Amino acid sequence: MTSTSSNPYSVALAISLVAVTVAWGGTVGLLVGMYASRPPATSNTHVENETRNGHRDREGSVSNAGDAKIMDKHALVDVRIGGIRALIPPVCLLEQVPRTVAIARTVNKGRQEVNNILRRVDDRLVVVVGPCSIHDPKAALEYAVKLKALRDTLDKDLLVVMRVYFEKPRTTVGWKGLINDPDIDGTFNINKGNDSCHVILRGGSTGPNYAKEHVDKCSDLLQKHHQPDNIMIDCSHGNSSKNHRNQPLVAANVVRQDHDYYI
């Protein structure tokens, strides 16, 4: 009888071939998976451009999500401001620093004295003295105390007024001053004006203009146009050639002019 059993060597060879095939397939699959999971390589052309141009190429625009984020007002408005504190309302400040009777009396008295001099009711001279701006309260008060003592000794001949400017007159924003809004109420009644006015001679591009001939010329022009003959000499600025050492010389000249006028 013929045997039908398989050759043991053939079976072993078949099993070996199957094992090799499975192992090879697994290796190929692993390599394919690793390659697919790698991030895309940077283009060599991009790198070459950076090297050749000496700077980085401009990045592409942000995504739609990024566009939505930067359009948020919080990403655009006041991004450099660390905090905001509201200003105290003016009415509250006035309540904290009320006007006293002494303050009101001093202001009214000073205004009336200046007005009397400009209207020739008082024959004294007005002298405005003080810094260009007030930015140091302690120094300003110390200056005021010393000036008050000097004012009292000269009161018979001079009305000494301390210059107190909390803002520069050349400002271009906010309230423009009494010329534009004389009633200080937002009505801008410019035609009302200020009838207690004067001309200031402060010098200019042509040099000083405090000498007698300048004063006489200004006086003639004022009278010709039927305006009050009130002239104030600025001892600083152009009249002193912007040198504070020249201010006493200008003041002395003005005093001599006033003396000669009354002789």
Angle in degrees, CA 197, 200, 203, rounded to 5: 170
Write out the DSSP string of the chain: ----PPPHHHHHHHHHHHHHHHHHHHHHHHHHHHHHHSPPPPPHHHHHHHHHHSSPPPPPPP-HHHHHHHTSGGGTSSTT-----PPPPHHHHHHHSPPPHHHHHHHHHHHHHHHHHHTTSS-SEEEEE--S----HHHHHHHHHHHHHHHHHTTTTEEEEE---SS-TT--SS---TTT-TTSSS---GGG--SS--EEE--BTTB---SHHHHHHHHHHHHHTT----EEE-SSGGGGTT-GGGHHHHHHHHHHHHHHHH-
What is the model's pTM?
Answer: 0.49
Percent of the chain surpassing pLDDT 70: 64
Q: What is the pLDDT of residue 4?
A: 46
Q: What is the pLDDT of residue 73?
A: 67
CA 74 to chain centre: 24
**List of the chain residues with pLDDT < 50:** 1-5, 28, 32, 47
